[in-house]
Amino acid sequence: MNAPIELGAFNLPNILTYGRIAAAPLVGLTYYIPNNWGPWIAFVIFVVASVTDYLDGYLARIWKQQSALGRMLDPIADKLLVASCLLMLAAEETIRGWSLLASVVILCREILVSGLREYLAELRVSVPVSRLAKWKTTWQLVAVGFLIAGDAGDKVASDIFKQDTLIITNTGLALLWLSALVTLYTGWDYMRAGVRHMID
């Protein structure tokens, strides 16, 4: 009876999801490697982990390996990766000032939606992930990727354009605000659906 469950737990889509969970602390650890290599190593790990966010779902669908475990872990892996990186970037003051508000919006929404999903699961109600919510995750990952490159990326951009520029960091902050606004909207969308089910 347990064999199919064990096999499903270790199929390739789920292994990719486990890898994304493991990448969350790994990005933070490698970011602090000295001699300017740290941010670039962390950036590469983050990009590879972000790509698995698309691959695990795609492979699960085409190979018909979708599972309850995968559906549960996939959003958790995304949230762990984004949240740990946002906290690291805030501690490093890459994200500072008013931009911290964008990070707070993202983190609060993810906690709120996770709690709402858990409550609705007890009522046997499933709230499907909208297309906009999937794009929200993509924008968050792209924004965090730019911010991890941060100073190291700005130095490369300065060498290319022959002038001091913060184009990489500023692009990351702009995308962070964009993703925060979309995050706020999708969070409200989930809240409306949740409240409707609670009233019913």
- Segment 127-139 shows an average pLDDT of 80
pTM: 0.86
**Distance separating alpha carbons of residues 146 and 153, to the nearest angstrom:** 8
Asked if residue 48 lies in contact with residue 24, where contact means CB atoms within 8 angstroms, the answer is no
Percent of the chain with pLDDT over 70: 88
Asked if residue 31 lies in contact with residue 88, where contact means CB atoms within 8 angstroms, the answer is yes
pLDDT digits (tens, 9 = 90+) for 72-103: 888 889 999 999 999 999 999 999 999 999 99
Q: Is the pLDDT of residue 4 over 50?
A: no
Which CATH number does the domain housing residue 111 bear?
A: 1.20.120
DSSP state of 124: T
Q: What is the pLDDT of residue 126?
A: 67
pLDDT digits (tens, 9 = 90+) for 44-78: 999 999 999 888 888 888 988 888 787 888 888 99
**Mean pLDDT estimate for the chain:** 86
Q: Is the pLDDT of residue 130 over 90?
A: no
**Distance separating alpha carbons of residues 186 and 44, to the nearest angstrom:** 29
Residue 75 makes CB contacts below 8 A (sequence gap 6+) with 114, 129
Domain count, the chain: 1
| Owning domain of residue 149 | 3-199
DSSP state string for 101-119: HHHHHHHHHHHHHHHHHHH
